[in-house]
Amino acid sequence: MVASVSYFMSVQSKEDLLKDSWKKIARWAFIIQAIAVFSTFGSLYYALYNHYFEYKYVWRNSSRDLPVSYLLASFWADQEGSFLLWSIWHSVIGLLLLRVGKKWEAPVMATLSLAQVFLGSMLIGIYILGYRVGSNPFLLLRLAEENQGLPWVANANYLDFIKDGNGLNLSLQNYWMVIHPPVLFLGFASTIIPFAYAFAGLWTREYKEWIKPALPWSLFSAMILGTGIMMGAAWAYESLTFGGYWAWDPVENASLVPWLTLVAGVHTLLAFKFSGHALKSTFFFFFITFVLILYSTFLTRSGVLGDTSVHSFTDLGMSGQLLVLMAVFSIPSFALLIIRRKEIPTVVKEESTYSREFWLFIGALILMISAIQITFTTSIPVWNKIINGLGIKKLFGLEQDIAPPADGALHFNQIQIWIAIVIGLLTAIVQYLKYKDTPKGFFTKKIAIPTIISLVITIIIGIFGDVNYVAYGPGLQYAIYVMLFASVYAVVGNAMYIFIGQKGKLRAAGASVAHVGFGMVLLGILISSAKKEVISIDRMKMLDGGFFGKESKENSRENLMLPKNFPVQMGDYHVTYAGDSVAPGDAKTYYLVRYERRDPANGNILEKFTLHPDAFLSNKGQQQLTPNPDSRHYLTKDIFTYITAVPIKDEASDTAQYKSHEIAPGDSVFFANGYMILEGLQPQPQNRNYAAQPNDLAVGAQLKVFTKNNEQYNLLPVYSLRDNSYEVVVPDTVSPLSLYVKFSKILPKEKKIVLQVKESDTFKDYIVMKAFIFPFINVLWLGILVMVIGFIMSIVQRVKANRSKTIQS
């Protein structure tokens, strides 16, 4: 608070001496608060590391069995810790601005310091006029409101009964939880810098001067926020089980929308820098970006998305504070923009439609339209609360709330595909235009070769790639091909511009490199989604009959049951569940799934590998299964596998009994699901469960099994006389049929054998799993990496340019 007021007074003071005095006070105040924030972080982590369960936050989010990395992740697993993480990044950015802010330090830091006031208020947990302000991460467990009145609170030795903490949510026990939130919250925190520079420009009436120092910061913010979002997509792909990297979840949307408007602001800023146009738009986009960050915080932390998102927090009573925070930053900024709009420099001359700045502005508007559509649909729970709160339903006689789309992914895909097409095309074309105006002949000549090459590549992919993405809905097949062209065009057009427009000067081609990466992201999304294939098809219909329950959204036909040690055909592979294991100190169960692909002509093994999908299990079996996938990575595809069900641990024991049958070669034995024929006896039998000994006299019963569904299996139960003294009986099974067969005796006089057959009612050891093939998914991940590299190149270029101009002046 001292830093905020002091920086404000420094800006408002007319005398240089007063300006410097106030700034000195503000600097020391901010440094002291930064030390306090770092100390608070250290204290809370110390409590987590040492398992001080007397603190509610420690008890609620950690346990003794968590490794050190997950103890660190438990720091930001809950609301208070994530707000503190946000405040830490603000402190780091603020300390950096003390060194590089120069003349803009006071107005920019006044805004940043004010944001710190509000973030701090989220953590103090005190009552003011009967209203609780924030939630204290150091609240003692016995003082928590929900525990008041309970008998154990009054016991002085109550800690003796708390042996362990609640633990970190199972779905968060992943290494991505250690690295993704810090990067994402750095992205959130960094958006205040473009906002603060824009507000400082309006506040001080230096409407153009703030552009130069703000540009590297805005590029940095767009890069970090985008990286954080894409890390979330990689986490979802690698560790979540909705079968991909993006599900249009409301919390995913809430982080994507500010990035879209920030990217729009970066491009309008560049348009102004080189042409003088779009300055008002730049103010608007930087303002709305930070406000949308605050709005997304409200959405995810107010509990309003509790019924529509698996990622949202529950309400800790801070909804009012979050709304006040939004108002404090949105009302003054937009009010000042409106009041001083006529003072903002504007180029009277209308832009040429053949100018780069015109199409940069159009692209920014398209991104804004995308943001509006995503925000509107994501905010349906908010609209319902507003409608109910204002009594609009009663006024108009409405009976139901606004319903969200039945298929959210389809709803967004059908609209956002057109946005992606326009942005992809603009990304390819705009750089070939010059600022202010471009000769038509020059533009046509430059763009012709990239256009032709992109068309040829698109046709080749369309013909030989079998692109057919039904998830976008019926009637959009042609849109898919247009998007394919737009994606290829973005890659080819920008790659060639490095040589055509930049003359091969890679250091100055940061924007083109970033656009190449963006085009690769679009291409990766399109192809991996178009060619995504479920290979775990239940052709034997073993899971029909409501295996997953009526409430489950899981498609039983896309899940395959794998009985232990029984190879099952899955696509081009034979897949075998070989068992599971647990490691000391690890709460996960790891499943061993072997893949094998053979040559259909000669049966030779062409490929074999093992995947280890894992899952957290509770004593309630599949009802409390929290799986983590495993993938086999190739250059051109991924095989993505995860567990969807395991046997319930407390299921009843098998009561089925063996029945004996005396049969000769050629005879049949019938069972409930079919029959088997004894084809003959085989000396020196080869059975996977039989290990021959030197003195064994062994023989196997060759059995052909036929089912009612026209499926066939081979069985070879073994009867062995070991050392001429005792019998060894090795059964064989058809696990999908729950059929067990023993070769228990030879009757030489009758020329028959005795078979014992059992049909079990329950499976004892199996897994149910789902598997996809994601083709060319690496195009997406490589595109993200290229895009980040392009951002870094642009930031370095802008910083060097600013430093060079400063030295010259």
Task: Tell me: pLDDT of 395 over 50.
Answer: yes
pLDDT band per the 50, 70, 90 thresholds, residue 13: very high
Cα 785–chain centre separation: 16
Highest average pLDDT, of 11-25, 499-513, 627-641, comes from 11-25
Higher pLDDT among residues 90 and 401, named by residue: 90
Mean pLDDT, rounded, for 428-454: 89
Mean pLDDT, rounded, for 341-362: 89
Residue closest to 52 by CA, chosen among 142, 186, 176, 129: 142
Task: Tell me: pLDDT of 473 over 60.
Answer: no
Helix axes 408-429, 440-464, angle to 10 degrees: 140
In percent, the amount of the chain with pLDDT more than 70 equals 91
Task: Tell me: pLDDT of 716 over 80.
Answer: yes
Q: Would you say 360 and 268 are in contact if contact means Cβ atoms under 8 Å apart? A: yes
Higher pLDDT among residues 437 and 292, named by residue: 292
Residue closest to 326 by CA, chosen among 299, 357, 364: 299
Average the pLDDT over each of 219-233, 236-250, 273-287, 580-594 and give the range with the smallest value.
236-250
Average the pLDDT over each of 20-24, 30-34, 381-385, 485-489 and give the range with the smallest value.
381-385
Instruction: Return mean pLDDT, the chain.
Output: 86
Q: Would you say 371 and 262 are in contact if contact means Cβ atoms under 8 Å apart? A: no
**C-alpha dist (Å) from residue 780 to 161, 254, 433, 487:** 51, 21, 28, 12
Encoded tokens for 452: 């032709």
Cα 781–chain centre separation: 13
What is the pLDDT, as a whole number, of residue 398? 67
pLDDT band per the 50, 70, 90 thresholds, residue 739: confident
CA dihedral 470, 475, 480, 483 (to 10 degrees): -140
pLDDT band per the 50, 70, 90 thresholds, residue 604: confident
Give the model confidence (pLDDT) of 746-769 as tens digits. Answer: 898 888 999 999 887 555 678 899
Print the SS3 string covering 597-622: EECCCCCCEEEEEEECCEEEEECCEE
- What backbone torsions phi and psi does residue 17 show, to the nearest 5 degrees? -65, -45
Q: Would you say 568 and 560 are in contact if contact means Cβ atoms under 8 Å apart? A: yes
Residue closest to 775 by CA, chosen among 337, 437, 464: 464
pLDDT band per the 50, 70, 90 thresholds, residue 802: confident
Residue closest to 788 by CA, chosen among 230, 160, 214: 230
Task: Tell me: pLDDT of 595 over 70.
Answer: yes
What is the pLDDT, as a whole number, of residue 620? 40
What is the pLDDT, as a whole number, of residue 375? 93
202-206: long-range contacts (C-beta < 8 A, 24 or more apart)?
202/283, 202/333, 202/336, 202/337, 202/340, 203/11, 203/107, 203/336, 204/11, 204/107, 205/340, 205/343
Taken in order 469, 474, 480, 483, the sign of the CA dihedral is negative
Mean pLDDT, rounded, for 461-473: 67
What is the pLDDT, as a whole number, of residue 152? 78
What is the pLDDT, as a whole number, of residue 193? 97
pLDDT band per the 50, 70, 90 thresholds, residue 653: low
Task: Tell me: pLDDT of 602 over 50.
Answer: yes
pLDDT band per the 50, 70, 90 thresholds, residue 454: very high
Task: Tell me: pLDDT of 494 over 70.
Answer: yes
Burial class (CB in 10 A: 0-12, 13-18, 19+), 546: exposed
Task: Tell me: pLDDT of 23 over 80.
Answer: yes
DSSP code for 590? E
Residue closest to 523 by CA, chosen among 552, 491, 493: 491
Average the pLDDT over each of 109-123, 311-325, 352-366, 679-693 and give the range with the smallest value.
311-325
Residue closest to 682 by CA, chosen among 735, 720, 713: 720
Average the pLDDT over each of 127-131, 543-547, 571-575 and give the range with the smallest value.
543-547
Higher pLDDT among residues 808 and 418, named by residue: 418
As beta bridge partners, residue 575 has 568, 595
Separation of alpha carbons 372 and 361, rounded Å: 16
* Neighbouring residues of 702: CB distance < 8 A, sequence distance ≥ 6: 678, 679, 680, 681, 682, 714, 715, 716
pLDDT band per the 50, 70, 90 thresholds, residue 538: confident
Burial class (CB in 10 A: 0-12, 13-18, 19+), 654: middle
Task: Give the helix/strand (H/E) hosting 263.
Answer: helix 250-275
- What backbone torsions phi and psi does residue 301 show, to the nearest 5 degrees? -115, -5
Geometric angle at alpha carbon 125, from 255 and 70, rounded to 5°: 55
Mean pLDDT, rounded, for 254-264: 95
Mean pLDDT, rounded, for 709-726: 82
* Neighbouring residues of 629: CB distance < 8 A, sequence distance ≥ 6: 238, 239, 240, 241, 613, 640, 641, 642
Mean pLDDT, rounded, for 115-138: 90
Separation of alpha carbons 177 and 300, rounded Å: 17
What is the pLDDT, as a whole number, of residue 517? 95
Task: Tell me: pLDDT of 243 over 70.
Answer: no
- What backbone torsions phi and psi does residue 413 show, to the nearest 5 degrees? -60, -40
Geometric angle at alpha carbon 265, from 261 and 267, rounded to 5°: 120
Highest average pLDDT, of 532-536, 699-703, 755-759, comes from 699-703
Instruction: Count CA within 13 A, CB hemisphere, residue 780.
Output: 21
Geometric angle at alpha carbon 425, from 422 and 426, rounded to 5°: 85
Sequence letter at residue 196:
A
Residue closest to 746 by CA, chosen among 659, 663, 690: 663
What is the pLDDT, as a whole number, of residue 84? 96
What is the pLDDT, as a whole number, of residue 314? 59
Task: Tell me: pLDDT of 586 over 80.
Answer: no
What is the pLDDT, as a whole number, of residue 622? 41
Mean pLDDT, rounded, for 419-442: 90
Highest average pLDDT, of 368-372, 641-645, 713-717, 722-726, comes from 368-372
What is the pLDDT, as a whole number, of residue 621? 39
Mean pLDDT, rounded, for 96-120: 95
